[in-house]
Amino acid sequence: MPITIDSFKAYDIRGQIPSQLNPDICYRIGNATAEYLDAKRVVIGRDMRLTSAEFADAVAKGLQEAGVEVLDIGLCGTEMVYFATTHLSADGGIMVTASHNPADYNGLKIVREDAKPISGDSGLADIKALAEADERRTAPEPGARTVSDIFGEYIEHMLGYIDVDALKPLKLVVNAGNGCAGIAVDGLEPKLPFELTKVNHEPDGTFPNGIPNPLLPENRASTADAVIEQGADMGIAWDGDFDRCFLFDEKGGFIEGYYLVGLLAESLLKANPGGNIVHDPRLTWATLETVENAGGKTVQSKSGHSFIKEMMRQVDAVYGGEMSAHHYFKDFSYADSGMIPWLLVAEMMCTTGKPLSELVREKMAAFPASGEINRKVDDAHATLQRLYDAYADKANSVDDTDGYSFEFDQWRFNIRMSNTEPVVRLNVESRADEGLMSEKTAEVLAVIEA
């Protein structure tokens, strides 16, 4: 019977259990995805959440009853579904995960062939309509569900981004947050000359050490403290489905994702001289300078994985990066990975002989940034208009790629709306003047909160 499903978001499906997501809704979405893609073969994978196996079974049943062969890769990270979808030449892939959401949530991430994204403006609304109508597609013969072991090929693909012979012994702290990153780390470990200290390593859907979201400052101490205690060269932490990774330097200092965009671009441009680099508009100056100095070309895109991936395909970019710690790679089907970034950074540390703090210190000093500041507001559209009225005439330029970006001689800021809640997101940076950055951040926040 027709129902309303309110777990569909801008880029994926996420909802509270069982009111917004349950086995019936998962079945409907699986069946609807089969119809939307006119699929014959679809990859499914799942994270460690307590409901993920049951939800994966429901998704698989919806696909199978539509005649689709289900290629089940089991417990994994989202990027392993991306890899398997391309590697196995499947018509699509579905990952059961709610990443860093609370324990009583779950969700689905869906891609089409070659791991191309399906989001709100590229098919997710159509799948939602089909799932809500529940006009079930059934085939004369149900599709098979087979276990597909792509783990070894995935690990070898990850290692292909670095020169393993150039690596030197490093001490690393790895914090999976009881998500699924530990699975991939364990596969990589025997191939690398690194000594690993493992924190919250085992997948555990009860989240005994808190929700795996290192973007929250309160969740960083376990990694930072271990780096200091172990005298490690770097710390790495992931969210639950490890499509994002977060780095800590040898002093336990958290490195904002913004400064890694330029660093990774620089690394990839060495092998791809003159290549295109896609970035989001929130914080830009460090990226623009680094890419220009490395001989690359920058292309700006609206924030969000579907927009970044689409732009990368359009301009054949070698790499795309967002300050939110999503990093995208041409040779990974233009998809985001939480494993490739730390491998590339570790390789840079080995080949340059520089600690991570030194690799990012110059850009952090040259372009101090506020980090993303979120504020709840009564009317996000009105808030953006108020800021436009206050700053547009004074700015050297105003860009509306994503919200508004206002640029001045010595500072700039971007203000954008959330896709899902009455929140505005602010990012401010300056040219080598942390005091000015702090002053202007307070000034803009006062306008927002007026």
DSSP string, 365-386: HHS-B---EEEE-S-HHHHHHH
Give percent of the chain above pLDDT 90: 95
356-366 and 340-352 helices, crossing angle to 10°: 100
* Whether the predicted pLDDT of 4 surpasses 80: yes
Q: Is the pLDDT of residue 252 over 80?
A: yes
Query: Above 90 in pLDDT, residue 259?
Result: yes
> Residues 349-373: what's their mean pLDDT?
97
- Name residue, tokens 């100095």: 293
Provide DSSP, 31-91: HHHHHHHT-SEEEEEE-S-TTHHHHHHHHHHHHHHTTPEEEEEEE--HHHHHHHHHHTT-S
| Segment 115-143 mean pLDDT | 93
Give residue 448's Cα distance to chain centre. Answer: 28
Tens digits of residue pLDDT in 25-39: 999 999 999 999 999
| Catalytic annotation, pick one of 7, 52, 99, 430 | 99
8 Å CB contact between 309 and 243: no
| The pLDDT of residue 121 is above 80 | no
Nearest-angstrom CA–CA distance, 429 and 303: 17
Quote the DSSP letter at residue 218: G
Residue 121 has a CB neighbour count (10 Å cut-off) of 14
CB atoms within 10 A of CB 17: 19
**Is the model's pLDDT at 46 over the cut of 80?**
yes
pLDDT at 414 over 80: yes
Share the mean pLDDT of the chain: 97
Which helix (DSSP H) or strand (DSSP E) does residue 146 occupy? Answer: strand 145-147
Q: Could you confirm whether 99 is annotated as catalytic?
A: yes
pLDDT tens-digit profile of 212-250?
999 889 999 999 999 999 999 999 999 999 999 999 999
Residue 12, SS3 per DSSP? coil
Domains of the chain from N-terminus onward: 13-150 (3.40.120.10), 167-252 (3.40.120.10), 257-336 (3.40.120.10), 373-449 (3.30.310.50)
* pLDDT over 90 at 450, yes or no: no
pLDDT at 419 over 80: no
